[in-house]
Amino acid sequence: MHFIRIVSIVAIATCAVAVCVSRWAPRSGRFRAFREAHVVAIDGVFLAIGDQAPRLLDTAAGEVSRLALPSGYGLQNVSFSDWIDEDKQRQMAGLWVQYQGSHDSGLVAQFGLARLSFPSGHVLECVPDAPILNSPPCWYPGAQPRVLFAAMDGRLYQCTFSDGRSFDSQVTEVKLANGARAPRRLSDCFVTAPVWPKVPALGGRLIAEIADRPIRGHFTSSRLWWLRLTPDGAAIAEMGPLSVPETGYADDAWECLPSVTALPDGGCLLAYQRTTDFGKTRDLCVARVNIDTVTGEPTFRPSSARKIAAGVALLPAAFTPDAAWVYVVEGKPMLKSATVRRIPVDLDTLASHATTVRVP
């Protein structure tokens, strides 16, 4: 009888601890359903001096709103999951910055990779020791809270968030797998702006901007490449150039900040920025991506790309869900003269149908 009493007491205590732990742990919905995200974030600093609140562009409705943040906090390089939970909350991840005092001080108290609920803005988790993002992260396919991102050191990393079960989010570097098929060493590459399009024609491949590692602090040029990960998403199985070298194509041309969307006919459309004067002027170009019928590898020829905008800001373009329009930021960012414009992809109607979107 004494033994049964002890077991009962231990069982009750265990349940109490479990309840407390579940209340302390960050809440995250368990049921998740696929809902493609038609919202992209524009870092606030690009639209107003000292503004740390991202602007949220609804690419379906063509509306821009301001994400409210607590005083003294900033959020940059934000991306959104393609699923929602039972509370109809999506998740977003990005670089979370806490300032000493107000953000006007410029003094950073702490920063890290953060995961938040959207639209509630509830902070689910912050990984303070994660490498600093150089661009928005990519969400892995499926319903697991896991992202891949490029860091300021030019390397790729992946973070598997704890998802409320514990506080042990894991960040590891994504390297070439043993026996990977790659025409160059990843250690020689500086990776920026990876995107993981939900485009069936790409066969699960990512697109990223890759440059040679800087010499004496200076980059030479960058090109767009494709990457395919191993089934567990922990390493790169193969990689290759998306941009096909052509005679007469400027060696000093930069291809950067790719955006990719599916076309109604099942094809793949690419938007990217191109510059030949070290970023002084940036053109937005669009091109159809060709898929090799045997290998499935994607490529495009720069000569086939069409310039549809000039003087765009250093931000990736965003397609509307039907791929008929593309949003860009033009003007002089950080000087309160930048505007968000919607441009038709149909090249014959560009001049007469470009429209400006009001930014709050």
Q: What is the pLDDT of residues 52-61, one digit of tens each?
A: 788 899 999 9
Average pLDDT on 290-298 reads 93
What does the H/E/C string look like for the chain?
A: CHHHHHHHHHHHHHHHHHHHHHHHCCCCCCCEEECCCCEEEECHHHCCCCCCCCEEEECCCCEEEECCCCCCEEEEEEEECCEEECCCCEEEEEEEEEECCCHHHCCEEEEEEEEEEECCCCEEEEECCCCCECCCCEECCCCCCEEEEEECCCCEEEEECCCCCCCCCEEEECEEEEEEECCCCHHHEEEEEEECCCCHHHCCCEEEEEEECCECCECCCEEEEEEEECCCCCEEEEEEECECCCCCCCCCCEEEEEEEEECCCCCEEEEEEEECCCCCCCEEEEEEEEECCCCCCEEECHHHCEEEEECECCCCCEECCCCCEEEEEECCCCCCCCEEEEEECCHHHHHHHCEEECCC
Q: Does a structural domain hold residue 185?
A: yes
The per-residue pLDDT for 74 is 85
Q: Residues 195, 315: one domain?
A: yes
Q: Residues 312, 356: one domain?
A: yes
Q: Residues 213, 65: one domain?
A: no
Amino acid letter, 247 = T
Q: Residues 57, 132: one domain?
A: yes
Q: Residues 58, 180: one domain?
A: no
Among 168-172, 173-177, 182-186, 275-279, the minimum mean pLDDT is found in: 275-279
The per-residue pLDDT for 235 is 96
Q: Does a structural domain hold residue 15?
A: no
Q: Does a structural domain hold residue 276?
A: yes
Q: Does a structural domain hold residue 158?
A: no
pTM of the model: 0.83
Average pLDDT on 274-301 reads 87
Q: What is the pLDDT of residues 94-136, one digit of tens each?
A: 998 888 766 555 677 788 899 999 998 888 888 888 999 999 9
Average pLDDT on 36-43 reads 90
Q: Does a structural domain hold residue 54?
A: yes
Q: Residues 239, 305: one domain?
A: yes
Residue where a domain stops, chosen among 115, 150, 185: 150
The per-residue pLDDT for 278 is 64
- Please determine, for residue 358, whether its predicted confidence score (pLDDT) is greater than 60: no
Percent of the chain past pLDDT 90, that is, above it, reads 45
Candidates 60, 52, 108; CA nearest to 76 is 52
**Domain range enclosing 88:** 31-150
Tell me how many domains the chain contains: 2
99, 45 Cβ separation under 8 angstroms: no
Q: Residues 253, 125: one domain?
A: no
Q: What is the pLDDT of residues 217-264, one digit of tens each?
A: 666 678 999 999 999 999 999 999 999 877 666 666 789 999 999 998
Q: Residues 43, 121: one domain?
A: yes
